Amino acid sequence: MVAIGSEMSGGVQDVRIEDLTAINTESAVRIKSAVGRGGFVKDIFVKGLNLNTMKYVFWMTGSYGDHPDSKFDPKALPEINGINFRDVTAKNATIAGKLEGISNDPFTGICISNATIEMFVKKDSDIEMDAKKVKLPWNCTDVAGVTSNVVPQPCALLPDKKVDCPFPTDKLAIENVQFKTCSI
């Protein structure tokens, strides 16, 4: 539904997403970057997600795609910080969270609060006995943050701290847009 990042040598900041409904999608909000991209994604605020039938509820990756040439700067590391999700309801999800930062450059300031995720359950006739096919609801590496009131319980890198994630209350200029009829 919403993708932030990937080809980003600049930055993305102060994004607000509110009251989003997504049905039958790969993910709701996806944040992506990679070594050599530089730039930043910070102060992202997401509130009021209503999701049904998807692969990932929360998806962030620091290893997105290949570079167009071999001359990229491997020291250009992105800054991913201040990513806030609150008031999320999801049903029929395959994976609650796949949060993969960058080794020695973790994604920080992640906050998830008031999220209830009902995981996809295979029917008895579809169950594979192969334990390798079982997916954990959360997969987290090189990330840091907090959670509160999240089900299923997130990974250890996102401990429960009993705090609500912030969402700005100030008005944005877009909220005051007025349409006018123009004549030629």
Q: What DSSP line would sit under 23-58, residue for residue? A: EEEEEEEEEE-BTT---EEEEEEEEEEEEEEEEEEE
Domain that holds residue 63: 2-176
* Cβ-contact 41, 5 below 8 angstroms: yes
Quick one: pLDDT band at residue 133, thresholds 50, 70, 90? low
Rounded to the nearest 10 degrees, how much is the dihedral formed by the CA atoms of 174, 175, 179, 180?
A: -90
Task: At 46, list the tokens.
Answer: 């997401």
pLDDT reading at 130 higher than 60: no
| Average pLDDT of the segment spanning 140-169 | 95
- Is 181 within the bounds of a domain? no
pLDDT band at 123; cut points 50, 70, 90: low
Contact present, 49 and 16 (Cβ < 8 Å)? no
Residue 132's CB: how many other CB atoms inside 10 A? 6
Report the number of distinct structural domains present in the chain.
1
In a domain, residue 76? The reply is yes
Residue 24 within a domain: yes
Burial of 68 from C-beta contacts in 10 A (0-12 / 13-18 / 19+): exposed
Residue 183 lies in a domain: no
Whether residue 120 lies inside any domain: the answer is: yes
80: pLDDT strictly greater than 50: yes
Beta bridge partners of 117: 90
In a domain, 108, yes or no: yes
Region 68-96: mean pLDDT is 90
pLDDT at res. 128: 54
The pLDDT of 10-28, averaged and rounded, is 92
Per-chain mean pLDDT for the chain: 87
Nearest-angstrom CA–CA distance, 114 and 164: 8
Whole-number Å distance between alpha carbons of 105 and 169: 31
Task: Return d(Cα 106, Cα 104) in angstroms, integer.
Answer: 6
In a domain, 184, yes or no: no
Of the pLDDT bands very low, low, confident and very high (cuts 50, 70, 90), residue 182 is: confident
Q: Is residue 169 part of a domain?
A: yes
Closest CA to 36 of 87, 9, 85, 72: 72
